[in-house]
Structure 1
Amino acid sequence: MTRMKVDVAIIGAGSAGMTAYRAAKAHTDSVVVIEGGAYGTTCARVGCMPSKLLISAANAAHALKMAPSFGVNPGAIEVDGRKVMDRVRSERDRFVGFVVETVEGWPEAHRLRGTAKFLSSHELLVGSSTIVQADRIVIATGSSPCVPDGWRETLGDKLLINDDVFEWSDLPGSVAVVGTGVIGLELAQALHRLGVKVRLYGRSRAIGPLTDPTVAAEATRIFSEEIPVSLGVTISPTLTPDGRVSVISGDEHGVRSAEVFDYLIVATGRRPNMSGLDLEVAGIGLDGSGQPVVDRTTGQSTRSHIFIAGDANGMTEILHEAADDGRIAGDNAGRHPIVRPRPRRAPLGIVFSDPQIAMVGATFQQLKAGGPAFEVGEASFADQGRSRVMLENRGMIRVYADTATGIFLGAEMVGPAAEHIGHLLSWSVQRRDTVQQMIDSPFYHPVIEEGVRTALRHLQRKLVLPPQAPESCLDCVPGS
């Protein structure tokens, strides 16, 4: 049995683990990163980047389909599935290569291959032959897709998770996508636009992660008009005699239907990779759902020397949040027992559907559940000038502000350019801008952001605070 002693051991070499390593190394060179799987982050290998490559191909096909509406005839539209997937895999491998190159550039003494589990609160067994004794430990093991019990046994290799999609050499003829959250929506719409027969199934009656019922209803209406959907259903998949997937769905009224597909993609959420770590041996406190209790401002678990970062903490499965988690946890692990709480950035979530979805700051659900008294302003993009010019005039935005102070609290939207609007609004949340300060900022014409100004003006009129400056007549452009 080999033994090694370090100041900091980091379990996992994903986005959180890599940033934790860099942060911890600023305080000590006695660091080891333990990884039992392939190097390459979830984002680069099976998440952000390959999914956007697939979506970009789908958007190109959709743009050609929409061209006649502008008076442009592109001719016959042909999707070459092999070329689509060749580019997806090639560019994916390029992104993964950068990550692998970075990790393999670390000193060999800082890298240890093998799965880890706790032997005590300060000891890890790695593989079957190495014991690592660490003064401080960072758990950054990531997350994995959830698969309903029994489905994998029933469907075998006809059941896929989103990771599997990016290994395709060609597009299939048909897929059922189960799960109407971010991953399910993005994959279903992209594959549909690339000519794959798709049906999106969901236990929920809403599509996407939105919590504002008005915006969620609009998003569900928009996506249901394009993608074949079955909402508010439970499903039972089985294999047909010829090896395809039969999906039987039923709703609360007992209405049942059946459809056959080449594959079934499960996109019903992800869970932290905690099984096999033997957390109980480390004495880490768990919450009501069985997940470790974590202080997001320090990264600490209930054991002060054990930190949890990234998807492993089960909080916000977004790359920039995982990187922040890793930086905070790694920095505090490196300097422990001195621990510095760090403020978190304003929440920002984006879905790369078309139209896009953005959720900024406090959500409608959070404000209703326990936030300050708030007012809501809204605007539709249906007749918004620039959106209409581009034939992207779908969706709406709802914005929220503190009734007492006029401070902007958050927004939810489905509509054009949501990835960019979401960033602008998240900056206002982080600065604690008032609605009036946002309205007083420059808005060019004609731009989609003018629709945001319309929503802010609607919100400002509902606040009891008097406006701080008169509106300029130059702002009063019809259709803006």
Structure 2
Amino acid sequence: MEKFKVDVAVIGAGNAGISAYHAAARLGKRAVLIDRGCGGAACSATRQVASKLLFAAAEAAHSIEEAEGVGVHAVLRHIDGRALMKRIQAECERFDAFSRDPVSEIPAADLIHGHGRFLNTHCLQAGERIVVEAASVVIATGSRVAVPGALAGLNERLLTPDTLFELDTLPYSVAVIGAGPAGLALGQALHRLGVRVGIFESGSGFAALSDPVVRNVAARCVGEGMDVRRNVELLDARWDHASAILRFKDDDGQEFVERFAYVLIADRSIPDVHRLGLENTGLELDSRGVPAFTRRTLQCGDSSIFMAAGGALSCGPGAGELAGGNAARYPEVQECRQGPRLDVCHTAPQIATTGTTFSNLPKQGYAVGEAPLDIVSRNGTGRRRRGVLRVYGEIGTGLFLGAEMVGPEAGHIAQLLSWAHRNTLSIGQILDMPFHGAAMQEELRSALISLQGAMAKPVTAWSPAQSHLSMTE
């Protein structure tokens, strides 16, 4: 049995793991990277490439269907699903061939091949023949899809965002479980490519939006033409070698059965820690086996173990950098400066949130401004559809708090507002910035003026019913 003694051991060679290794090394600590050879960083980048290629194909097909609205009489003759998937796979292979593998830059002496598993808090076994004794450990094993028990028996009929792109051709039909950001984006793209798509959400949620005005508008705009059912409960699922048969119950208690070729789970990811032997560390674990940790430091309790797996830190500095730096400093740790939230759902139109979301606003002392995000001018079809931008500010200080929105270029608007939030700007200071007259800029300016006016009124709390704009077709 070969033994190593190091300052910091990092489990997982994805983006977070590599960042954690370099952060510890920069602080002068002897660090090793334990990698089981899954290529996490490359897999993540390749998945993004595949998704973007699928979205581009869906947009091309949708543009042809919408072209008649501007006098271009194009005909969508056929969508070749086999050719489309073959192109996506070929482009991903080409991307992999030309991409720089960050693991190859790790010195051979610092790279240990094998599956890392805790023997105790400071001792790890890597593979069958190596034991690593570490003063501190970073868990950077990425995430995995949490499959509901009702779907566990579907086997190859169950898809994730990774296995979706391994199919030889576009599926005939797909049931998407959950109306989260990834599921909605993939579901809408497949729908526009001719796949029969059903989206089933157990609650009233839609793309993680918490503002009821924005959520309802998003459900109408993004869900247009799709079979989206909210407030339904998945009872059970089985497969008959040809398709998956799903049984649901709606909010009226009525049961119904749907049949799809495949079932896609895209938004139920959890940290992939189930084979790490964390039960040997004495850490407090939740029902999923994930250790409790502090998000500002990524430290698990007061131990020398730090969590950088599964999107542990959604904003601010990278999770790997923070976890690796604190592992090197242990027992001294530093808190990150929490940056503003910025989430973009790549549907058409886009859905975005930044800063403090509606559900996290204080119970009083804030105001809401609102403006429509007009979609008709972007696609030129003549159909009147409206998105909406809702911005939140603090009464008294005038500070910008956050925003939720759905509409064209929502991601760009959210990016601008996230910078304003990061620099603690007031609504007046944002309005003092230049706006160059593009539609997006004018819509943003209108929402901020609306908010500025609302903050001048004697309002201590706000409800969706007080919205001054009618978000109807």
Distance 1:355 1:45 in 2: 24
Q: What is the match of residue 355 of structure 2?
A: 361
**Aligned pairs (5 A) from 1:147-162:** 147-153=147-153, 155-162=154-161
1:91 aligns with 2:91: yes
Q: In structure 1, the residue corresponding to 2:253 is in which secondary structure?
A: coil
1:438 aligns with 2:419: no
Q: In structure 2, the residue corresponding to 1:311 is in which secondary structure?
A: coil
Q: TM-score, normalised by structure 1?
A: 0.88
CA contact under 8 A between 1:283 and 1:303: conserved in structure 2?
no
Distance 2:428 2:98 in 1: 44
Q: Sequence identity, in percent?
A: 38
Deviation at 1:201, TM superposition (A): 1.2
TM-superposition CA deviations, 1:373-422 (whole Å, max 9, x none): 21110111248867879979531010001112000010000111011111
Deviation at 1:216, TM superposition (A): 0.6
Q: TM-score, normalised by structure 2?
A: 0.89
CA contact under 8 A between 2:372 and 2:388: conserved in structure 1?
yes
Give the alignment partner of residue 332 of structure 1, picking from 299, 318, 326. Answer: 326
Q: What is the match of residue 343 of structure 2?
A: 349
Distance 1:56 1:235 in 2: 32
Call closer, same or farther: CA 1:84–1:383 in 2, change over 3 Å: closer
Distance 1:22 1:70 in 2: 53
Q: What is the match of residue 461 of structure 2?
A: none
Deviation at 1:198, TM superposition (A): 1.1
Q: What is the match of residue 298 of structure 2?
A: 299
Deviation at 1:354, TM superposition (A): 0.6
Deviation at 1:278, TM superposition (A): 2.6
Distance 2:135 2:222 in 1: 51
Q: Any stretches of 5+ residues in structure 2 without a counterpart?
A: 459-473
CA contact under 8 A between 2:117 and 2:126: conserved in structure 1?
yes
Question: Which deviates further from its counterpart, 294-303 or 63-72?
Answer: 294-303
CA contact under 8 A between 1:40 and 1:99: conserved in structure 2?
no
Q: What is the match of residue 404 of structure 1?
A: 396
Distance 2:150 2:59 in 1: 35
Deviation at 1:74, TM superposition (A): 2.4
Deviation at 1:350, TM superposition (A): 0.5
1:451 aligns with 2:452: no
Deviation at 1:311, TM superposition (A): 1.4
Distance 2:99 2:13 in 1: 10
Q: Any stretches of 5+ residues in structure 1 without a counterpart?
A: 467-480
Question: Which deviates further from its counterpart, 395-404 or 457-466?
Answer: 457-466
Distance 1:390 1:111 in 2: 59
- Number of equivalences: 457
Q: In structure 2, the residue corresponding to 1:54 is in which secondary structure?
A: helix
Distance 1:104 1:39 in 2: 11
Give the alignment partner of residue 365 of structure 2, picking from 369, 373, 376. Answer: 373
**Aligned pairs (5 A) from 1:314-325:** 316=314, 324-325=318-319
Q: What is the match of residue 464 of structure 2?
A: none
Call closer, same or farther: CA 1:40–1:292 in 2, change over 3 Å: closer
Call closer, same or farther: CA 1:65–1:384 in 2, change over 3 Å: closer
Q: What is the match of residue 128 of structure 1?
A: 128
Q: What is the match of residue 223 of structure 1?
A: 222
**Aligned pairs (5 A) from 1:20-169:** 20-28=20-28, 30-41=30-41, 43-46=44-47, 48-97=48-97, 101-153=101-153, 155-169=154-168
Distance 1:426 1:256 in 2: 43
Question: Which deviates further from its counterpart, 211-220 or 250-259?
Answer: 250-259
RMSD: 2.6
Call closer, same or farther: CA 1:385–1:434 in 2, change over 3 Å: farther
CA contact under 8 A between 1:10 and 1:21: conserved in structure 2?
yes
Deviation at 1:305, TM superposition (A): 2.4
Q: In structure 1, the residue corresponding to 2:149 is in which secondary structure?
A: coil
Q: In structure 2, the residue corresponding to 1:226 is in which secondary structure?
A: coil
CA contact under 8 A between 1:61 and 1:77: conserved in structure 2?
no
